[in-house]
Chains A and B, each alone.
Chain A
Amino acid sequence: MLLSQIGTGIITAVFVFTSCYFINYKQFGNNLGNNYARFSILFGMIGSIIGTFVGSAIIGNGRVGYKEVLSGSITGAIVMSAAAPLVTNIGILLMIGAVTGMLSGFYMRKVHVIVNQRTVKDVLGMFGPFAISAIIGSFVVAPSILSVYYANDTPIPYTNGGLGKNILV
């Protein structure tokens, strides 16, 4: 019991301190851009928590599961991390996080039980939310937002002001 608690604390500390590395990692941009990225992550997490709670409560007859409470924030961070410097609209951030949170809540409430019906495939039930948020964030959200940038010919943050060349400032 004590060992498991120590292990949980170490894993939590690794996540927290590594996120500090992410946030303070200024090699790819200036301070203003990093601030945008921080707020994108923050609002994505807020939307994800809301969506996870709502989705879990709808499927669970008004009751929110404890796993959804635990993993509601991290899914929003993952889904917004790929496109964090590109989005500054709070409504879009909340919506993206809420949709991902609802899908994650649905997975943890229904799909996780079905997946582990015969043989256990996802032991802790965290792999599904990670997979859902990573795939949506990387293959849906970021290309969609980039397509808007290209369509409007808007300069992308963390570049020299144009599309394409000289990406590392």
Chain B
Amino acid sequence: MTNSSIDIGTVAMRTMLLSSISLLVIMTAIVGRVSTTQIIKLISMYQIFWCCNYFLLQYFAVIWNDYNPSNVNYFPVVFDMFGTNYVYVYAVAFGLPFSLSLKKQTLPEIHPRN
């Protein structure tokens, strides 16, 4: 983020793993119901919006909060340390409509899982 060279460090690795976990949460709901093309489209859309959401939350938690005249700290809620908001809540917000809107391919009604 600070220079143009590719940096593989703990921060970049953590960010990548966070997005992977978030995507895996969605995949638990839609695995077996989407084709390979749909998965590629989903991952592309998901990563773009995930990064937007990630940096937007950082902006609200750090920059906006520092320059906000009101005396309110949003850090533990907006950009929490363990990543509930930008991993799991975002996965729910993205994956719930996506999973509900998928109607093309379904597993058999009577399934050992059920």
* Smallest CB separation, B5 vs chain A (Å): 21
Using a CB–CB cutoff of 8 Å, the interface residues on chain B facing chain A are: 10, 13-14, 17-18, 20-21, 24-26, 28-33, 61-62, 65-66, 70-73, 75-77, 80-85, 88-89, 91-92, 95-96, 99-100, 103, 106-107, 109, 111, 113-114
The interface residues of chain B lying within 8 Å CB-to-CB of A99 are: none
B88–A133 CB distance below 8 A: yes
A123–B17 CB distance below 8 A: no
Of B73, B100, B114, which is in contact with the most chain A CB atoms at under 10 Å from its CB? B73
The interface residues of chain A lying within 8 Å CB-to-CB of B18 are: 18
* Smallest CB separation, A105 vs chain B (Å): 16
Which secondary structure dominates chain B's binding surface? helix
The interface residues of chain A lying within 8 Å CB-to-CB of B62 are: 167-168
Contact code string A132-164 (vs B, CB < 8 Å = 1, else 0): 011101100011001000000000101100011
Q: In chain A, what residue has the closest Cβ to B20?
A: A14
In the complex, A32→B10 CA distance in Å?
A: 21
B32–A85 CB distance below 8 A: no
Using a CB–CB cutoff of 8 Å, the interface residues on chain A facing chain B are: 11, 14-15, 17-18, 21-22, 25, 28-29, 37, 41, 77-78, 81-86, 112-113, 116-127, 130-131, 133-135, 137-138, 142-143, 146, 156, 158-159, 163-168
In the complex, A86→B75 CA distance in Å?
A: 11
In the complex, A142→B73 CA distance in Å?
A: 12
> Can you identify 29 A-B contacts, CB atoms within 8 angstroms?
A18-B14, A18-B21, A21-B10, A21-B17, A22-B81, A37-B81, A37-B82, A81-B83, A81-B84, A82-B82, A84-B80, A85-B81, A86-B76, A113-B114, A116-B114, A122-B28, A124-B28, A126-B25, A126-B29, A127-B28, A130-B91, A130-B92, A134-B84, A134-B88, A135-B92, A138-B77, A165-B66, A165-B71, A167-B65
In the complex, A158→B24 CA distance in Å?
A: 30
In the complex, A156→B91 CA distance in Å?
A: 28
